[in-house]
A and B are shown apart, each in its own frame.
Chain A
Amino acid sequence: MNWGGRTLINVLAPRIVLAVLTLFIISLVIFFSVELLPGDTAEAMLGHDATVEALATLRRELQLDSPAYVRYWRWIIDLLHGDLGKSLSSGRAVSDLLAQRLPNTFFLAGFAALISVPLSFVLGVITALYRERAVDRGVNFVALAASSLPDFFVAYALILIFSVHLGWVPPISIISPESSLAERLYLTGLPALTLTFATSAYMLRMTRASILSLLSSPYIEMARLKGVSSGRVIVGHALPNALGPIANVTALTLAYLVVSVVVVETVFAYPGLGQLFVDSVSKRDIPVVQVVAMVFASTYIVLNLVADMVALAANPRLMHPR
């Protein structure tokens, strides 16, 4: 694509460079924060009651006799080759753990996105259409309330209503690789609903705001003067121009979704990456923590980059910043 001499690549390149730089800095911090531990790294990781043999094995595995930058280099090269190291607590390969957990987390986040994106889009259009009326005020009040509630509060409130009182779904969402799709959807209903609550409010408000800001522009006024109904003005005239910002917000929300699964998975004991992360954090299983943090950070940064690209593709005017 070419807009006025500047190609999309020209505009995107600095953003991609920044994303890669950010990932590089995150990897540095993830790796070197372990070096900040006082005393011997192996001892700090295993605790004071570790046996001499265990310490010796770990020292050999971490290659603590080489300088830190050499070990960082090897860690990154191994990561890029798919060798993610071994868990300290279970001894299993981290890549096995990821292969098992990552699809579950994407399934949950995807399920939540399938509910929350259309829902907040429709509600955003409706509130813009009926702005300052009862529907608008009501939806906005609920959205403001939803965004102030901690995720675990929403999760437990849903458990209390749907599991304890109504008995429709179990309070925990333990799925196994053998679970069928229907079973998965049934078991992940409550966590997906919790995530919908957490993410819809922001998307809804942004959809409403981007439509409302367009409604004051001259071409919309022209359409109105022409006698077009207000519903058609929004759907036919305002919406196409609002799609860019809305898609951008959606990608940002997905990034947020991937991170907020951490709390939700913990509440529902859902076997995803978030729960693995929290478990490894509390067991101080540092090799797993490092890799999972890297996975979360990369997903988050890539989705942010996608949000940027979508915004650019939808609005070529952004290609020429003042």
Chain B
Amino acid sequence: MSLAVDRAAEHHDTLAQRVRRVPLPALIGLAVIAINIVVAIGAPLIAPFGQSEIAGPPYNPPDGAFLLGTDAIGRDMLSRIIYGARNTIGIALMTTLLSFFLGAGAGFVAATAGGWVDQILSRAVDVMISIPKLIFALMILSILGASIPTMIITIAVLDSTRIFRLSRSLAINVNVLDFVEVARLRGENTFWIVRKEILPNVTAPLLAEFGLRFTFVFLFISSLGFLGLGIQPPAADWGSMVKDNSTLITFGSLIALAPALAIAILALAVNFVVDWAANLTSGLKD
């Protein structure tokens, strides 16, 4: 009840008032995401050095020229973290988008077409969802070679199963409503129904899921990078930077943890925002 009142009041609120109602963790999360996007897009303008440029002596401690020091072959850590934002986030985003395109597309088709199409797709997903993803991705990448397209396609296909299940169950509920029935009687085809009738009615939960899947894919790509099979050198990637500088950690250097911290902060920020968005859409307010 109070929610309905809040929603109605929202139209008369100023922007500042609306921002004040967002819980603090979500606000911090949104700010962190914004900073990451700016850094990722403006990497060449912000970074003091190139991502694979040997800018100084190896293991140079942090000083005026190298704010976070240099790595084992003298590349500037700060510049690599800045470019890493672009590479790691960019690829994670592309993978999540492809994964949604595949998963939601198949899920909507299964829900609207029903019958044997639904059966085949659902049983295939049952099989795929019980495959351990990390093991499978490592195996495929070791056999086919670690390249960015192989990685994107492998992870997108493996992760699309969860999106399939969610979008299928969402679409099934919409599919039985009267307006879909009317559209069908009018003679619209499946593609049109999916695009014009179902999609607009399931966007909110799918967007929350997008955040969750992005975090998963982003952490997954970082883990692959850490294991040496993700984004390949000399391109900067947060996961592989942790691996490259792991020897520094045993000497007590906090700088080596900087790329790991960058991963953790972004993942946390997205989770905070998703947590808030999920509470909003389900009507549960603290």
Whether, in the assembled complex, B130 has its beta carbon less than 8 Å from a beta carbon of chain A, the answer is yes
- Chain B residues contacting A26 (CB-CB under 8 Å) are 131, 136
Say yes or no: A277-B132 contact (C-beta < 8 A), given A148-B215, A159-B249, A171-B250.
Answer: no
CA distance A290 to B143 in the complex (A): 10
Q: In the complex, A255→B256 CA distance in Å?
A: 31
Q: Is A163's CB within 8 Å of the partner chain B?
A: yes
Chain A residue with the shortest CB-CB distance to B218 = A150
Expressed in whole angstroms, the Cα–Cα distance for A227 and B239 within the complex equals: 55
Shortest beta-carbon distance from B5 to chain A in Å: 22
| Stretch touching chain B among A83-91, A179-187, A279-287 | A279-287
- B-chain residues with CB within 8 Å of residue A263 when the two chains form the complex: 134, 223, 226-227
**B111 contacts partner chain A, Cβ-Cβ < 8 Å:** no
Q: Which of A220-258 contact B (CB under 8 A)?
A: 255, 258
Q: How far is the CB of B122 from chain A (nearest CB, A)?
A: 12
Please give me the residue from chain B that is nearest to A45 by CB atom.
B143
Does the CB pair B131–A22 fall under 8 Å? yes
Number of chain A interface residues as a range: 35 or more
With contact pairs A259-B132, A259-B135, A262-B135 given, residues A151 and B223 touching in the complex (Cβ less than 8 Å): yes
Task: Give the residues from 257 to 281 in chain A that come closer than 8 angstroms, CB to CB, to chain B.
Answer: 258-260, 262-263, 266-267, 277-278, 280-281
Q: B92 within 8 Å of A by Cβ?
A: no
Q: Is the CB of A153 within 8 A of B271?
A: no
Residues from chain B with a CB closer than 8 A to the CB of A157 are: 257
Task: State the CA gap A150–B259 with chains docked (Å).
Answer: 11
Query: Which stretch, A32-40, A105-113, A121-129, touches the partner chain B?
Result: A32-40
Complex Cα gap A118–B286 (Å): 29
Report which of B133, B138, B229, B267 forms a contact with A148, defined as CB distance below 8 A.
B267
**Cα-based distance from A260 to B142 in the complex (angstroms):** 18
| B223 closest partner in A (C-beta) | A263
- A165 contacts the other chain (CB 8 A): yes
Stretch among A56-64, A69-77, A294-302, A310-318 lining the B interface = A294-302
A19 and B134: CB pair below 8 A? no
Inter-subunit contact B143/A33 (CB<8 Å): yes
Contact A33 B144 (CB under 8 A): yes
CB atoms of A281 and B138 under 8 A apart: yes
Instruction: Write the chain A residue with the least CB distance to B228.
Output: A282
Residue of A nearest to B260 (CB): A153
Is B249 in contact with A150, judged by CB distance below 8 angstroms?
Answer: no
Report whether B144 and A36 are in contact in the complex, using a CB–CB cutoff of 8 Å.
yes
Name A300's contact: one of B130, B215, B249, B275 (CB within 8 Å). Answer: B130
B219 part of interface (Cβ distance < 8 Å):
yes
A153 to chain B, nearest CB (A): 4
CB distance from B187 to the nearest CB of A (A): 33
B252 within 8 A of A: yes
The residues of A that contact B264 with a CB separation of less than 8 Å are 148-150, 153
Q: Does the CB pair B260–A152 fall under 8 Å?
A: yes
Instruction: Point out the residues of chain A lying under 8 angstroms from B226, CB to CB.
Output: 150, 152, 263, 266
Which of A144, A153, A160, A259 has the most C-beta atoms of chain B within 10 angstroms of its own C-beta? A153
A296, B226: Cα distance in complex, Å: 20
Q: Contacts of B251 on A, CB cut-off 8 Å?
A: 164
Contacts A150-B264, A164-B250 given; indicate if A296 touches B219 (C-beta within 8 A): no
Residues of the A chain whose Cβ atoms lie less than 8 Å from the Cβ of B249: 156, 159-160, 164, 171
Residues on A with beta carbons closer than 8 Å to the beta carbon of B153: none
A160 CA / B248 CA spacing, docked (Å): 10
Contact across chains for B138 and A278 when beta carbons are under 8 A apart: yes
Cα A25 to Cα B136 with chains together (Å):
12
- Render B100-143 as a binary contact track against A, CB cut-off 8 A, 1 for contact: 00000000000000000000000000110011111110111111
Q: Does chain B have a CB within 8 A of A117?
A: no
Residues in A whose Cβ lies below 8 Å from that of B260: 150, 152-153, 156
Q: How far is the CA of A165 from the CA of B254 in the complex (A)?
A: 12
- Which one of A163, A255, A281 has the highest number of Cβ atoms from chain B below 10 Å of its Cβ? A281
Residue of chain B at shortest CB distance from A132: B286
In the assembled complex, B46 has its CB within 8 A of some CB on chain A: no
Q: For the complex, is B222 an interface residue (Cβ under 8 Å from A)? A: yes
Query: Which of A144, A165, A260, A277 has a CB less than 8 Å from the CB of B275?
Result: A144
Instruction: Verify B138–A152 contact, CB threshold 8 A.
Output: no
Given A19-B130, A278-B227: A164 and B252 interface contact (C-beta under 8 Å): yes
Within 8 A of A (CB), among B242-258: 242, 246, 249-252, 254, 256-257
Q: Can you list 8 A-B pairs with a CB-CB distance of less than 8 A?
A: A37-B143, A148-B264, A164-B251, A262-B134, A281-B141, A289-B142, A289-B143, A300-B135
Beyond known contacts A150-B226, A171-B250, A296-B132: 17 more, CB 8 A cutoff: A18-B127, A26-B131, A29-B136, A34-B143, A37-B143, A148-B264, A148-B270, A149-B264, A150-B239, A267-B246, A280-B142, A281-B139, A281-B227, A284-B143, A286-B143, A293-B138, A297-B132
B contact set with A: CB distance below 8 Å? 126-127, 130-136, 138-144, 215, 219, 222-223, 226-229, 239, 242, 246, 249-252, 254, 256-257, 260-261, 263-264, 267-268, 270-272, 275, 286
